[in-house]
Structure 1
Amino acid sequence: MSVDRLRLDAGALTWHCDPNQFEFETTRDLPPLEGTIGQDRAMTAIEFGLGIKDSGFNIFILGEPGTGRSSSIKKILNARAKDREVPDDWCYVHDFDDGTRPDFIRLPPGQGAEFKKDVDRLVERLTEEIPKLFESKEYEEQKSKIAAEHQEKHKALFQQLEKEAEEKGFTLQRTVSGLVLVPVRDGHPLSQEEYENLSDADKADLDERGGKLQDHLNDVLRDVRRIEEDAREATAEMEKEVVSYAMKHLFEELEIKYSEVPRILTHFDNCKEDILSRIEELRPSKGPQIALPGMKIPQQEPSFDRYLVNLFIDNHELEGAPVVYEANPTYFNLFGRIEHVIQMGNATTNYMMIKPGALHRANGGYLILDCREVLINLFSYEALKRCIRNKEVKIEDMTEQFRFLATVTLKPKPIPLDCKIIMIGTPLLYYLLFQYDPDFRKYFKVKADFDRMMKNTWENAQQYALFIGAKCRDEDLLHFDPTGVARTVEHSARLTEDQGRFSSCFLEIANLIREASFYAERDGRDRVSASHVDLAIEARTYRCNKVEEKIQEYIEDGTLLVDTEGAVVGQINGLTVYLLGDYNFGKPVRLTVRTYLGKGGMVNIEREVKLSGPIHDKGVLIFSGFFGERFAQDKPLALAASICFEQSYSGVEGDSASCAELYALLSSLAEVPIKQGIAVTGSVNQRGQVQSIGGVNEKIEGFYAVCKAKGLNGEQGVIIPEGNRKNLMLSKEVREAVEQGRFHIWAVTSVDEGIEILTGLPAGERDAEGRWPEGSINHKVDQRLFKMAETVRRFGKSEEKNEK
């Protein structure tokens, strides 16, 4: 079999974007970008989720960061919200029952601010006029009239009592302890000494008359107290009438204005009843008062603040439904808070200190949250589910459960919730919540999955041009010409490692656009061309590839042993990819296999020292299965093999080295050298088929850089799986080397194809009797294994004889 057919030509090593397909001079000529590029599935899901009214059909947008999740949903919601009605305003008012459960008033949009303004003016007028009533001439006249009427009754009672006492020989005297009946004789009060000198009969007569008078006095005193109580009640009733009359014209205008809002009329009635019950508190102050330590400072002036309105949510400036993005979804930022003021070491609050959260502001519209931020904030996620379940937003003091002593606090009445919630997160968070939280699937039933790539089509290429134009327009960057757009689109395909796909990670593309514009502006150009995009890519690589250059230096000076010429038995160049987060690159690593007699099977040195991951271990076990199935059908394997990544001091993961390990094993057993100028990547299955791997571009370019440094001889190259042909987006330098015949890339589908390229010998195929062709790699391996089995068998017999 000729291996030339497996060699790829330069045209297959990349996908080229033709600049001539773009019919514009620069992206400045393009119209604005509408919609989202390449996310049809996600857009369909979002449209469904926003259209359905059920409260459980909230949306979870999942995708990798940078795929346009946040910008797309914000753009969609802002456009959609304009066509929806502006939600109502919400106000909190004082609770006149016990003061701890403020109630809300719901008003059409814009009326909340007007209502607050009207009530502020009302309270201002109440503050001015009510205290003045108690200082007015009319009030004093009515109060004096009531006092005079009751004073006359009081006076009449005492005059009658004095007359009766005088007739019975007594007189009334006022003392510190009250009124006292004193007997009179000869026109003057009887002293105690004179009383003692009276005869017993006189004393008895005097005591009898005095007792009857005392009973009458007690009756009169009771009547006096009743009269005083009547006076107070009459005064209070008069004051209520005065205050009620004064309030009537203050409230009357607002009651007419808000006659169609029963809740406001009820509130006004409560306010008037409360004012009438607080008349004593509303009198003008008598001057400054001093409070003792620990006592509340008394108010110097009458306060009407409890009748003010807390304008909780004011939507008068909105043009449609609200769209709220809460970047820091703490519990209080989401669900609101009750603020406190510290006075004399005591924390006090009232309904005016109730502040809204993001859910209140988004009520009637849309709320966008970052899933990770919600989960890392205590209480937020569970409280959010409660709000969705109960369809209301309840403001609570979550720190209350951590206190040893319960404190009196406000418990505002919950506000009904009508809000579509959009959660944004990674696929990992979505599937973890779906798996471990039974409630999650109830409340986030719509899954909008943003893909990290899209198909390579003419339409999507045009959309990319629109995106570039929009970004340049939005950020005042230099616009791109067709060559610059084409080179950016090619780089997008490189990011996906797929000639048939573009990247949907627009964060990376946006950064490239900014950087290319910078270099074009620095060069004094008025537009960005392909050369500036290339310069931006190269500059970014240079900023990030210090580690790559260090490893390259170690290879060039021989610190890291990598051969690119000659042939060695049981030794091959595997290809690895270093993942540094902001930069990935490939470099070759020497892989060796040593075989010998034994029954230990494949010994993966990396696994034995715990430097290999499970996928790498799986790859070794898979090719061990293939090896056993091919060569151990007619004989036992009397083989021990050690497999090692030379000079590897960190973890190894992935199965992309399993092909290289198998090739080195075959070379060691067949005792046929492998060409060191050819590196290998690819995984193998148990049928000997070569499977696709990741990072193929970085691996090829990494080995090319080593070969270039050590000298290209026209025999060097890389063997890749046929399945990775579509993933090739190689650099211009590598493509030119392949085109000039100084470097080669082979795409294989089976292990046999790869071993022929590496050794120059045919792999061989079994004939009808199951024998391998003479001189083939498989024949040499089979014969070596047969000899090893025979050797082990002979040793076994010798040991049995010795034992006998």
Structure 2
Amino acid sequence: MFFKRRNKEKPAEAADASEAEKKGDVPSAESAGAPSQGQGIPADALRRGVDASALGFKTTADLEPDDGPFGQDRALADLDFGLKMRGRDFNIFVLGPPGAGKRTAILAYLSNAQRGTATPADWAYVQSFEDPHRLRALKFPAGRAPFLAERVAAAVRELRATLPAAFAAEDYRARHRAIEEDYRNAHDDALDALHAKAAEQNIAVLRTPLGFGMAPMHDGQVVKPEVFNQLPQVMRRDVESRVVTLQSELEAILTSAPAVDKERRRQLAALDVETARHPIEAALDDVSQDFADVPEATAFLADLERDLVANAQALLSSATQDACLGRYVVHVVVTHAKDAGAPVVYASDFTPESLIGCIAPADDTLTPATATHRILAGVLHMANGGMLVLDARGLIATPETRNALKRALKTGEIRLGPASQDTDPIPLDVKVILLGTHHDAERLEAADADFGRLFKVRACFEQAMPRSAVNDNRLARLIASIVKTHALKPFDAGGVARLIEDASRIAGHRDKVTLNIGRISDLAREADFWSKHAGRDVTTAEDVARAMSERTQRADRVRERTGAPSAAAPIPDNAAGKKSGHTIALSTIEASGVRSGQAHRVAARAHIGRGRVTDIVCTQAPDAIHGEIVRSYLAGTFARDIPLALAATLAVDPPLRGAAENGIALSKLLALLSALADQPLRQDMAVTGAVDPWGDVQPVDGINDQIEAFFDACQAHALSGTPGVLVPDANRAHLMLREDIVEAVRNGRFAVHAVKTVDEALTLITGCEAGVRGADGKFAAESVNGRIEAKLRAFADAQRTFERGADKSPGAREGRA
């Protein structure tokens, strides 16, 4: 934590004033009554209103709706730079708080930016006919891919009827029979001739289970082996010689049979090709002509025709037809209307598959009946050639999705998710815009440093814009747009004025209005509900006030159910009096999306510390940072030349639970200073503010909620007098209090005091001057600061005395030795 050091040395004017006070030339704080700060901030400075009559309309029905974006010129300029900057690493991260209207504004801007831009190509996947496990990616002019898919599907349906008809035609059957008979007759004739030749030579050709055989004959009968062996040797050799010759001729006939059958099958296959080609060409001819200007489509159709012809017989079989026809489905991945321009796609909830696409089982309701699978496109496919807007939190939650996006951006390719088939990548040309908060960006870069290198452009949405007449009018037209979008009743000028005031309150600054469109829209819709409940035709300021009040009450009921204490609880019964070491601190808590104030009782006790260590403990909510700040302030202000021999205990009741603890830092310090000085503090004055080591009071968030919570607590306790709140002077510009509080301040029933330093706060809450160092460098002895310094010096002296006594103890010396 870093602080800008303020010079705490006493200025010359202060020194002169102190001397004058000692001499009696200037009245003291006690004699002059309350110090100058005691009058508090004027009522008119506690809320900046809007003059409804100056808005220039009666109701929002008189206005031209305008949904913005407003006040985001710098962010939109950065967005425009990112869109025009080429390169896969110049993607854009749009940063801003939730509800700032980032999505609506960015999508509207991108929709305008894409007008007149080139429409990207269509993409489709088809089966590779060379590799059954691969899908080919085909590129088409915009709008043409679905047309090709329909035409191819129609051609396939046509072939299911025309192809079987062609093969069932009498011409095909006759030619098929002729080829079969030609080759069968030729084979039979050769065998018959061999039989006749063998018979002339008294040789029989026998067909046995083991094949052909030959044997000598006599008088038409086969000669038995024992008879043949009794013939003269010359006769036997002559017969054997004739058998050998005939066997050679038989072998030649049988050997030529496979070649002859192959030729037969070749001619039959040629007949099938010729028969199939005519209906296939007829089915695809018109498609080929329609896509003659698309080279990739022409090449695919040529391959398709060849594969259909080659697989014609498979298409004729009912057992294999569907599986075969599934090869010819054209899976359209993404298509665009011809003049649509570059696509703008938004996705808030996505997975790796929904980002890069995947292959899924066929769905009869979504894919052709012949398809065995379907291609599910991812948002990268849909946005390819244009702009993709993603919710950054979806990437933070799922590392797999984050890695898929990173891989696609780095490679410039989209590859379908894990599948059994290999797929061609599709070239990626997209500008990715992430939407998130600054915290989302930090978490994303912490999870993966590559994202900082891939998203080099940051467009930061402003949370608020300055209040002005022009901006008030723009906000009024935004409210008119909300009325139109949600079909609400018109708001009158007073209702719009109240919404603008509440927009300032949401912004946390009287001179600004929030750009959190979501919160303005929600408040307008709730006010519309209460307007209907009251039976009004238009929504008024009263309805807006009712909506705000009901919100607070709902949040209070949630707090009650969760056991959270009420804001009124810490106010003591003797709030009109004073008490040393006790203050009322204010903080903020949030429940059900509604922020509210919370009061706490802070009690401090101080005593001599052990050794030179300052022990400061907050018993309910330990906070090392606050302890360091308190130690630094005490040492720098009161213990410059002495050891800070102090131990202090700070108790906070009720304990802090999810509260903004920086709001109670000043209260803790004031309670401790009161305990040291034994100076009572006002118990009807609450304190909020942070503090730095030099005593400068720092601003806090939720200042209006804190003041209003304490005011309500005072009302609940019916406190008399003028209770009030000490707030950081730096929070003046953030004050947008309720009208009833402003009126109470105007009537002197409540006060809001702004302080810049701890001394100013101490003066106000004690009713005594805190005191400044005089020319001698010392505080006045009776001043609050003088008594604090005296107490700390007494602690230091007592500590030194204790240590000297310890040093004289032999045991102590031996222990240190």
Cα distance in 1 between the residues matched to 2:237 and 2:809: 151
Percent identity between the aligned chains?
30
2:632 alignment counterpart: 625
Cα distance in 1 between the residues matched to 2:570 and 2:727: 27
For the residue of structure 2 that corresponds to 1:141, the secondary structure is helix
1:512 alignment counterpart: 523
Letter in 2 for 1:702: A
What is the Cα deviation at residue 20 of structure 1?
2.1
Greater mean alpha carbon deviation, residues 324-333 or residues 587-596: 587-596
Seen in structure 2, the aligned counterparts of structure 1 residues 567 and 414 have a Cα distance that, compared at 3 Å, is same
2:359 alignment counterpart: 338
Seen in structure 2, the aligned counterparts of structure 1 residues 726 and 349 have a Cα distance that, compared at 3 Å, is farther
Q: How does 1:181-200 map to 2 (within 5 A)?
A: 181-192=214-225, 194-195=227-228, 198-200=231-233
Cα distance in 2 between the residues matched to 1:322 and 1:92: 20
What is the Cα deviation at residue 797 of structure 1?
5.9
Aligned counterpart in structure 1 of residue 431 of structure 2, from 407, 420, 423: 420
1:146 alignment counterpart: 179
Cα distance in 2 between the residues matched to 1:559 and 1:267: 81
Cα distance in 1 between the residues matched to 2:356 and 2:147: 25
What is the Cα deviation at residue 530 of structure 1?
0.4
1:722 aligns with 2:743: no
TM-score, structure 2 length as denominator? 0.88
Seen in structure 2, the aligned counterparts of structure 1 residues 96 and 729 have a Cα distance that, compared at 3 Å, is same
Cα distance in 1 between the residues matched to 2:557 and 2:688: 24
Structure 1 segments unaligned to the other structure (5+ residues): 286-297, 399-408
**1:614-665: CA deviations, max 9, x gaps?**
xxx3223223222222222354444433322245375776333332233223
2:622 alignment counterpart: 612
1:405 alignment counterpart: none
1:264 alignment counterpart: 297
Structure 2 segments unaligned to the other structure (5+ residues): 1-28
Contact kept? 2:558, 2:592, Cα under 8 Å: no
**1:325-370: CA deviations, max 9, x gaps?**
2232111111111123699xxxx99775222111112222222211
Seen in structure 2, the aligned counterparts of structure 1 residues 133 and 784 have a Cα distance that, compared at 3 Å, is closer
Aligned counterpart in structure 2 of residue 373 of structure 1, from 386, 394, 400: 394
For the residue of structure 2 that corresponds to 1:462, the secondary structure is helix
Aligned counterpart in structure 2 of residue 390 of structure 1, from 411, 434, 439: 411
Seen in structure 2, the aligned counterparts of structure 1 residues 75 and 351 have a Cα distance that, compared at 3 Å, is farther
For the residue of structure 2 that corresponds to 1:218, the secondary structure is helix
Letter in 1 for 2:577: G
Cα distance in 2 between the residues matched to 1:121 and 1:13: 76
2:286 alignment counterpart: 253
For the residue of structure 2 that corresponds to 1:686, the secondary structure is coil
What is the Cα deviation at residue 4 of structure 1?
3.3
TM-score, structure 1 length as denominator? 0.89
Contact kept? 1:564, 1:707, Cα under 8 Å: no
Cα distance in 2 between the residues matched to 1:562 and 1:576: 21
Cα distance in 1 between the residues matched to 2:732 and 2:194: 126
For the residue of structure 1 that corresponds to 2:259, the secondary structure is helix
Cα distance in 2 between the residues matched to 1:692 and 1:592: 22
Aligned counterpart in structure 2 of residue 32 of structure 1, from 58, 65, 73: 65
Equivalent pairs, count: 772
1:434 aligns with 2:445: yes
Q: How does 1:697-712 map to 2 (within 5 A)?
A: 697-712=704-719
1:596 aligns with 2:607: yes
1:97 aligns with 2:109: no
Letter in 1 for 2:348: A
Cα distance in 1 between the residues matched to 2:746 and 2:199: 144
1:294 alignment counterpart: none
Cα distance in 2 between the residues matched to 1:353 and 1:468: 46
Letter in 2 for 1:76: Y
Contact kept? 1:593, 1:661, Cα under 8 Å: yes
1:484 aligns with 2:495: yes
2:11 alignment counterpart: none
Aligned counterpart in structure 1 of residue 699 of structure 2, from 665, 686, 692: 692
Seen in structure 2, the aligned counterparts of structure 1 residues 277 and 177 have a Cα distance that, compared at 3 Å, is farther
Letter in 2 for 1:680: V
Cα distance in 1 between the residues matched to 2:50 and 2:445: 41
Seen in structure 2, the aligned counterparts of structure 1 residues 156 and 610 have a Cα distance that, compared at 3 Å, is same
Aligned counterpart in structure 2 of residue 158 of structure 1, from 188, 191, 194: 191
Contact kept? 1:10, 1:736, Cα under 8 Å: yes
Contact kept? 2:125, 2:330, Cα under 8 Å: yes
Seen in structure 2, the aligned counterparts of structure 1 residues 140 and 590 have a Cα distance that, compared at 3 Å, is closer
1:673 alignment counterpart: 680
Letter in 1 for 2:778: R
Greater mean alpha carbon deviation, residues 97-106 or residues 183-192: 183-192
Aligned counterpart in structure 2 of residue 3 of structure 1, from 27, 35, 59: 35
Contact kept? 1:592, 1:645, Cα under 8 Å: yes
Seen in structure 2, the aligned counterparts of structure 1 residues 138 and 719 have a Cα distance that, compared at 3 Å, is same
**1:90-126: CA deviations, max 9, x gaps?**
2222211121111122111222222222212222232
Aligned counterpart in structure 2 of residue 76 of structure 1, from 109, 127, 145: 109
1:48 aligns with 2:95: no
Contact kept? 2:46, 2:735, Cα under 8 Å: yes
1:731 alignment counterpart: 738
Seen in structure 2, the aligned counterparts of structure 1 residues 9 and 120 have a Cα distance that, compared at 3 Å, is same
Letter in 2 for 1:4: S
Cα distance in 1 between the residues matched to 2:567 and 2:280: 94
**1:763-783: CA deviations, max 9, x gaps?**
222221113235322222333
Greater mean alpha carbon deviation, residues 594-603 or residues 715-724: 594-603
Seen in structure 2, the aligned counterparts of structure 1 residues 649 and 64 have a Cα distance that, compared at 3 Å, is closer
- Indicate the RMSD between aligned Cα atoms, in angstroms: 3.0
Cα distance in 2 between the residues matched to 1:300 and 1:282: 5
**1:458-510: CA deviations, max 9, x gaps?**
22221211111011111110111111011011111111221122112221111
Contact kept? 2:97, 2:463, Cα under 8 Å: yes
For the residue of structure 1 that corresponds to 2:161, the secondary structure is helix
Cα distance in 2 between the residues matched to 1:315 and 1:641: 72
Cα distance in 2 between the residues matched to 1:709 and 1:302: 81
**1:149-197: CA deviations, max 9, x gaps?**
4345334423432232122211334444444334221133334564455
Contact kept? 1:393, 1:414, Cα under 8 Å: yes
What is the Cα deviation at residue 34 of structure 1?
5.0
Contact kept? 2:82, 2:91, Cα under 8 Å: yes
What is the Cα deviation at residue 749 of structure 1?
1.3
1:288 alignment counterpart: none
Letter in 2 for 1:367: L
Seen in structure 2, the aligned counterparts of structure 1 residues 67 and 186 have a Cα distance that, compared at 3 Å, is same
Seen in structure 2, the aligned counterparts of structure 1 residues 276 and 707 have a Cα distance that, compared at 3 Å, is closer
**1:589-609: CA deviations, max 9, x gaps?**
222222333446654332xx5
